[in-house]
């Protein structure tokens, strides 16, 4: 799935999402996911819960795992604005650190269409190191 963490168990939520890390740098990460049938709702677009999950994972990875850290974190708050229906086949979730302290960090996150760059959702996350 990615080269930052060991592969998740086959029955995990991360395996269900089936994303991969396609870019990482200090304080930044980009994930890629193909919208499969089990990711879509009855309207045939990627479910908002899937978009929020990708945003959350990208926000967490930007804060630590993108730079090689392995500290466990939990989400304190995640805001999300759905800007458009995610009809595309492949999406990118991007997380970028906006502030990092000793015990918490904050990320800007968004999900975009990988071909057009159209923004499907955007938000901010607050995360606490354990």
- For residue 62, how many other CB atoms are within 10 A of its CB? 30
Q: What is the average pLDDT score of the chain?
A: 89
Q: What is the pLDDT of residues 94-127, one digit of tens each?
A: 999 999 998 999 999 999 999 999 999 999 999 9
Output phi, psi for 4, to 5 deg: -95, -45
Span 22-67, pLDDT tens digits: 999 889 999 999 998 899 999 899 999 999 999 999 999 998 765 5
Let me know if residue 1 belongs to a domain.
no
- Banded pLDDT at 72 (limits 50, 70, 90): confident
Residue 48: give its domain's CATH number: 3.10.129.10
Q: Would residue 21 count as lying in a domain?
A: yes
Task: Judge contact between 34 and 90, C-beta under 8 A.
Answer: yes
Provide the Cα torsion 101, 1, 123, 28; round to 10°.
Answer: 50
Number of domains into which the chain is organized:
1
Residue numbers of the domain that contains 91: 13-129
Residue 91 belongs to a domain? yes
Decide if 56 is inside a domain. Answer: yes
Entry pTM: 0.89
- 8 within some domain: no
88 within 8 A of 111, measured Cβ to Cβ: no
Residue 6 lies inside a defined structural domain of this protein: no
Host H or E run for residue 129: strand 119-129
Task: Tell me, yes or no, whether 7 lies in a domain.
Answer: no
């Amino acid at each position: 799935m990615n080269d930052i963490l060991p592969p998740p168990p086959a029955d995990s939520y991360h395996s269900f999402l089936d994303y991969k890390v396609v870019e990482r740098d200090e304080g930044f990460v980009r994930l890629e996911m193909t919208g499969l049938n089990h990711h879509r709702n009855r309207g045939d677009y990627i479910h908002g819960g899937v978009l929020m999950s990708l945003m959350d994972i990208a926000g967490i990875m930007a804060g630590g795992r993108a730079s090689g850290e392995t500290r466990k974190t939990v989400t304190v708050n995640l805001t999300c604005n759905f800007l458009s229906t995610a009809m595309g086949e492949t999406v990118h979730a991007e997380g970028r650190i906006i502030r990092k302290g000793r015990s918490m960090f904050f990320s800007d996150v968004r999900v975009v269409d990988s071909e057009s760059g159209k923004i499907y959702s955007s938000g901010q996350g607050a995360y606490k190191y354990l």
